[in-house]
Structures are given as structure tokens and as C-alpha cells.
């Protein structure tokens, strides 16, 4: 499953504002946010701020590849 990413600024009420809209088949399925320095050891990780059609979406991943793999797998699971 190919995901399309589109940069976006997200107002999370915190320093975490660098985000990506994640599309699958031109449908928005998740909003990823890059964690800022206020998260110490997790800084730079990608957090699923919001997701659509995916259960238990609030997860953190060390990099974008891992985040996309998990989202793809979760979408496949949701369609089963």
C-alpha cells in the first residue's frame, strides 16, 4: 500500500508542530507530528497525532519508515 505524505503545520498547543498529512488512495488516514525537543529522548520521533479508521492510533515511531509501515499494516487490518 502506497501512502502519500504532505507537509503541514499542526497546532498541538505545544512545540510539536511539524507535521505530515498521510493519505492512502487520496483519503486522509493519519496526521503525523514530529516530536520536538521538549520530549527529551523521544525528540525527533514521529507520533500519530490523529488517525482515521485505525484503532489505537496514538503511537510513536523512531522514523517515518516505521510509522508508514505500521499505518499500512493497520489499514490492511482494518479492511479485513
Partner 1 sequence: MQTTPLLRRLQAIATPTDEEREVLASLSGATRQLRPNEDIARVGEQPSVVCLMLEGIACRYKISADGKRQIMSFHLPGDMPDLNTLFVHTMDHNFGALVPTTVITVPHDKMRGILVRYPRIAHLLWRETLIDAAVYREWIVMRDRPAYARVAHLFCELFLRMQVIGLSKDLSCPLPLTQLQMGDALGLSDVHVNRTLQELRAEQLIRLEGGTLTILDWEGLNYAGEFDSLYLHLKRAA
- In terms of CB distance, is 26 or 56 closer to partner 1? 56
Q: Compute how many residues bind partner 1; rule: CB under 8 A.
A: 14
Site for partner 1 in 4-33 (CB under 8 A): 12-14, 16
Candidate list 28, 39, 66, 72; residue touching partner 1; CB under 8 A: 39
- Measured CA to CA in angstroms, residue 49 lies from 61, 70, 73 at distances of 12, 14, 17
Residue 33: CB partners within 8 Å, gap ≥ 6?
Answer: 10, 12, 16, 17, 18, 19, 46, 47, 49
Instruction: Check residue 58 for interaction with partner 1 (CB under 8 A).
Output: yes
Amino acid at each position: 500500500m502506497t501512502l502519500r505524505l504532505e507537509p503541514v503545520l499542526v497546532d498541538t498547543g505545544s512545540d510539536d508542530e511539524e507535521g505530515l498529512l498521510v493519505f492512502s488512495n487520496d483519503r486522509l488516514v493519519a496526521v503525523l507530528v514530529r516530536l520536538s525537543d521538549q520530549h527529551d529522548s523521544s525528540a525527533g520521533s514521529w507520533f500519530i497525532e490523529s488517525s482515521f479508521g485505525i484503532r489505537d492510533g496514538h503511537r510513536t515511531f523512531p522514523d517515518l519508515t516505521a510509522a508508514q509501515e505500521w499505518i499500512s499494516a493497520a489499514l490492511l487490518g482494518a479492511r479485513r
